[in-house]
Structure formats: structure tokens, C-alpha cells
Structure 1
Amino acid sequence: MTQATTRGEAADGSAASPVESLIRDLPKVELHVHLEGSLPPETLLELAAKHRVADIPGTLAEIRDWYAFRDFPHFIDVYLTSVRALRDEEDFARLARDVARRLAEQNVRYAEVHVSLYAHLMRGVPAHVVFAGIEEARREAERLHGLQLRWIPDFPGDFGVEAAEQTLDAVLRDGPGSVVGFGVGGIEVDRAPFADVFGRAVAAGLHSLPHAGENGGPERVWSALRDLRAERIGHGIDSMRDPRLVEHLAQTRIPVDVSPTSNVCTGAVATLEEHPLPAMLAAGLLVTLNTDDPPMFGTDLLGEYRAAHRLGLSGADLAGLARNGVSASFLPPEEKRALAAEIDAVLAAWSAGRAD
């Protein structure tokens, strides 16, 4: 499915949906969104011109066409090309500021944001430049919007163990206290070779938050759990191909961060209607709802809640997804309780209004 088709589906009927007010009013968290993948096309154009970056389309229409991904490797190629527009502290601050504003507009209260740190290190951009820029925006977001941002630096697994080690070294040397985890993404390769570096990250107090089971099969999820000591699974939709893994995830309550529109746009799932989100919830998995790379996939978190509703989820189910996000986050317990209570209150008010 092309991105244009996905956009049309995301918009179809949303304004008339009886749950639209609930989707808008629910307090939300976002646990699987990539900072660089959230680069607005308009900002990408300006930064590419500022730094005279070749190979990035020169108009908004061309960028939208560029974002029609043939498959997952093509998406990765576009992603790594687009990050070349980010060069200095001001660029990173601007990007994080844009991300914070868009999240706040959707009533997102807390977000754990993946930062493709190695994609900058390999271009000679120092980690302290990246962190200085995004930290400026993080402090501003909390002051202006009441939005808390936390960071999950990661590396592409297909770049190997050396990339993992360099990324973790940079995090441990320059990372601020707002870094909560360490991740691996990119082309989905074997996770076992990264056991030692993730062991070092966990020993340093970072949470293990790898991508796994997006398109690499259930064994990638098993490996993330076994070898990387994963505390949440990014994507994880291939878990549904292994009943024993589904049972394990349900029993252990290890969260799975799901991004339906992303999975359609990269070809991990053929159509939205075939997405396993409803089956994952029915199997008792602790599923959270996320955007992954929202401008690249023509979506936002409101759009993902609408997509979940089109998959048959009720208003109560959507509120349950919002509560799952809170539960799976690394917010302090008292803040989790307060936010969950607010979600329950919004659902109760919406349900009472429907009854009237």
C-alpha cells in the first residue's frame, strides 16, 4: 500500500466518528516515535537548503512522493538520507521543538523519543551537539506545554557491533539524565551479537528498548528478550506467528509498542485491515499505540487512534490503549496513577455524554 492510500484511509470518516471527541480529549503518551523520523517536510526543505544537502527533493510535492516507500529497506534509505539535513545544535533544537509542539497539540503529556544517534556520529556530528539541541527543546516543552520528553538513543543493527559500542560510549559520556533507554533499529538483523553492549547499557541504568519482530519473525523477539533483556518490544507484530511467544508476552506483561500505519507504509502488513492489533489485544498482550515516524507515514497519534477504531476497537478499548501507554512508560508511579485516573475520567464523561 502506498502512503497516499494510507493517508486517505486515515482521513476517511474521522470527522464524523462518534469517538472523535474521545480521541482528542484522552491524555496520551507516545513511547515509540523517532525524533529524526518526525522531521516535518517543510523543515526538512529548509535545513537541506541551509546546508546544501544533495539527494533530498526540493519541493513538498517531491518529498511526499519520496515518502511512498517500496519496502522497508527503501524506507531506511530515505530515512538515512533525510537525517543528513541535521548538522548543528540549532537544527536539533528546532526539530525537537517542532516535535514537542505537535505532540502537545494532540494532548500528549509524556513521550519517550528514539534518537538515531549513530546516524549523526557516523557523519561526524558529536553527541554533545545532538544532546545540547534536544535538551534545550525538552526544557522548553516542559515549560511551555507541560509535556515531558525523554530520550532513547539507538543505532541501526545492520551497522554492526562497533556501531552499537560507539553509540553507547557516546551516551555514557555525553548523555543527559533525560536519557531513559538504549535501543536498536534499522534493518532487522540477529539481535544476539548485541548482548554484551546491551548488558553494559543495562548495568549503567538504561532500559533495554529494542526494535524486534517488525518484519524479522518471532525469533527476533525471542532474541531481544533472551539476549538483550528487553523491557519493551518495538513493533513486535511478528510475535503473533508464535503461540508460545504470545503466551509468554501475555504472562510476563512485557509491553509491545505497535505502530499500525507505519507497518502498512513499510510493507510489514499489506493493509490496515490485516493488522494484528485487535488479535494482539484479544490475546492479552500489553499493547501501546504509537506513530513511529509520523510525517514520513502521513499520520499522527490522533490518526493512529482513529485507525485503531476502524479496526473495530471501541471507545473503551481506545482508553485502554491510552492506559497501556501510561503503564508501559517510565513515568514515576504517582504520575502514572494521576494520568490513568484522568484517562478514566475522560472516558466516563464521554460515555455519559453518549448515554444522554
Structure 2
Amino acid sequence: MDLPTLASDFEAFIQELPKVELHVHLEGSMQPATLLELARKHGVADVPGSLEEVRDWYLFRDFPHFIEVYLASVQTLVDEEDFALLAADAAARLAAQNVRYAEVHVSLYAHLMRGVSARTVFAGIEAARTEAERRHGIRLRWIPDFPGDYGVDKGEQTLDAVLAEGPESVVGFGVGGVEVPLGPMAELFARARAAGLHSLPHAGEIGGPERVGEALDLLRAERIGHGITCMRDYALVERLREEAVPLDVSPTSNLRTGAVAEIWEHPLPRMLEAGLVVTLNSDDPPMFGTDLTNEYRTAAQLGLGAEGLAALARNGVAASFLEEPAKRVLIAEIDTVLAGHTHTL
């Protein structure tokens, strides 16, 4: 079943809408051309040798295959300049979509395990962050994370590195990878919270609703990456609604990793109808053949009107860790764009 094409006026509204991105991975933002450039630079043989082969490589069989490709591509990031290049390109592409602020996941352990220091990673991305704010006006913040299926000890190493080397622009701590029971990570996340980091785990993407419950109860999650399987548990949906815990949803990602079989089956509209706080995100844009603008387009094709898209944009602002004055300004801009298009939509 194909999704409907949007009218030009609706496309213009989506383009003009100020946006916030809360769930996008730095390493998953690597464009194919950059991947090839860095692979040649460092002699990495585990990635394809042409753009056409990279596009085929990004046709994921399932979620474990996606993780396999993701970790292979990470091998091309070695020195400070590599991280700066990647972050600068990601920031410019976000800014071109009228994204004003982004909280970007950084797969820090994937670098530590290869002998790349946290200092190298943070030096590169911080140089790009400050330049992007000067050049494009976009503000970036970082969420270091680790793959939960690697074990809690790897999370401890990651958090140690963050606390030793992380700049003030680090706002949270996360866990991703293949979903596993979160109980062993409770003390780790308690330590991260005690250090002033927000708890921002992935949960309920491929794993069941029990992972979402664990994220709430054991990790004291303030936002949850994905969370779509919560819709299988009525009591959990009621709790998420009552506690207004934001869920960072990425429809195209969920399709491409097999979390949903068809895009029109995505639970986004039902989540909103249930009163959940949903933000819209791109996750790993080039790997999934998308970007944040396209996610808004997809939400519209799933039945959301201009008011619904504006509400998603406001949710992103409200769920972010922007300062309150900046939030008020950005929400006012969203409302102004919506008002300016009301007569054409």
C-alpha cells in the first residue's frame, strides 16, 4: 500500500516548520560519500567500495543486520578530523531542514572498544558543534551511549569516559543496541543521573513493552527512544500518558529495521490518539534513506494534518533540554508558521 503524495502547499509548510531533532545518531548520519572517503583514508576493507554498493549494503534484512552494518561503518572514524567532518556535515544537513536544535546520540563505546579515546571523539564533535552554531545557527547537544547487549561493564566504561572527558554540551546518557533486560543497568544509570545526566535509553523498538516498563522503573527514563511496542500494553499506555513521558518515534527507521512490516501499519497515529507525548525523529537518516523533513512528510501521509504536525514540532521543543526562554521563542515560531499556512492547507 503506497502512501499518498502531498500537495505543494503542504510540502511548503513542512519545509518552513521550525524543527527539533531529539533522536538522531551521529554515526548513523554518515553519508555514503563520507563513508567511502574515510574508508579510503584509513584503509578500512569491511565497507563497500562504491556508492551503489553502499546503497545495497543499507538494505537491511533485520535489526541485527542493521547493527552489523552500523558497527562496520563506525570503523572509518579514527581521528579528531574524522569526527569533526561527520558532525559538521550532520549539522549542516539538519540546519538545511530548518532544524534549530538537536540532541545527538554518540555511540561512544563503539569508539572506545577500538582504542579511539573519548578525548578524540569529543574534541572533533565539539569543534564542529561550535562552528555549526556560528555558521548555521543550529545548536547541538550530545547523548553518549553504549550497546546494552555488550554488557553493563561496557556501560560503566562509557560513563567513566563521559565523566572524565565529556564537555558541558553532553546532556544525557543512553543505552542502545539489541534490546536486553535493563535491570543490570539500574545502578549505572543512577550514577549517571547523580552526575547530572538525563536518562535517555532506547526501549520498545524491537523489544516488547516490558523493556519500556523497565526503562521507566529501573532507569528512571526521562524520554524513551522509540517505545512503539508500548501499544501492546494498555496499562503501560495509560501510564505513559499520565506521566507524560515523551517517546522519540522514527517511523522510517522502524520500517527499515523490520520493527513494523509496512509503513501504513506504523502506530504513530494511534499513539497520538491515545494521548501520548510523541516527538518525530530520523534516527539514522542516510542509512534509512530519510531525514527529518521526510519524517514529517511521512506523518502527514499517515493522516496528520497541519495542526498535528505542528503539535509534533511543539512536542519536540517541550521534550528537549533547551532553556525555557529558547523553548518559548521556538514554539512561538512554530505557531506563526502554522498561522501563515492555515488559509492554504
The TM-score normalised by the length of structure 2 is 0.99
Counterpart secondary structure, 1:18: helix
CA contact (8 A) 2:5 2:301 kept: no
Distance 1:314 1:27 in 2: 16
Residue correspondence of structure 1 range 84-233 to structure 2 within 5 A: 84-233=75-224
**1:72 counterpart = 2:63:** yes
Q: Deviations over 1:156-197 (max 9, x none)?
A: 000001100000000000000000000000000111110011
CA root-mean-square deviation = 1.1
Letter of the 2:193 partner, please give it. V
Q: Deviations over 1:257-301 (max 9, x none)?
A: 000000000000001000000000000000000000000000001
Q: Deviations over 1:302-353 (max 9, x none)?
A: 1000100110000110011000000000001111111001100100000034
Distance 2:258 2:9 in 1: 30
Counterpart secondary structure, 2:22: strand
Counterpart secondary structure, 1:183: strand
Could you say which residue in structure 2 is the equivalent of 1:247?
Answer: 238
CA contact (8 A) 2:9 2:344 kept: no
Distance 2:78 2:8 in 1: 42
**1:295 counterpart = 2:286:** yes
Residue correspondence of structure 1 range 268-287 to structure 2 within 5 A: 268-287=259-278
Distance 2:168 2:74 in 1: 24
Q: Which runs of 4+ in 1 moved over 2 A?
A: none
Q: Deviations over 1:70-100 (max 9, x none)?
A: 0000000000000000000000000000000
Q: Deviations over 1:1-40 (max 9, x none)?
A: xxxx9xxx68x735x4431111000100000000000001
Could you say which residue in structure 2 is the equivalent of 1:257?
Answer: 248
CA displacement at 1:55 relative to structure 2: 1.3
Letter of the 1:96 partner, please give it. A
Counterpart secondary structure, 1:216: coil
CA displacement at 1:144 relative to structure 2: 0.5
Which blocks of at least 5 consecutive residues in structure 1 are unaligned?
none
Which blocks of at least 5 consecutive residues in structure 2 are unaligned?
none
CA contact (8 A) 2:269 2:304 kept: yes
**1:342 counterpart = 2:312:** no
**1:267 counterpart = 2:258:** yes
**1:20 counterpart = 2:15:** no
| Identity across matched positions, percent | 70
Letter of the 2:142 partner, please give it. W
Letter of the 1:234 partner, please give it. G
Q: Deviations over 1:234-262 (max 9, x none)?
A: 00000000000000000111000000000
Q: 2:342 aligned to 333, 338, 351, which one?
A: 351
Counterpart secondary structure, 2:258: coil
The TM-score normalised by the length of structure 1 is 0.96
Letter of the 2:144 partner, please give it. P
Counterpart secondary structure, 1:341: helix
Distance 2:5 2:238 in 1: 35
Distance 1:87 1:97 in 2: 16
Counterpart secondary structure, 2:248: strand
Distance 1:90 1:229 in 2: 36
Counterpart secondary structure, 1:85: coil
Paired positions, count: 345
Distance 2:344 2:177 in 1: 45
Counterpart secondary structure, 2:40: helix
CA displacement at 1:54 relative to structure 2: 1.2
Could you say which residue in structure 1 is the equivalent of 2:304?
Answer: 313
Residue correspondence of structure 1 range 33-52 to structure 2 within 5 A: 33-52=24-43
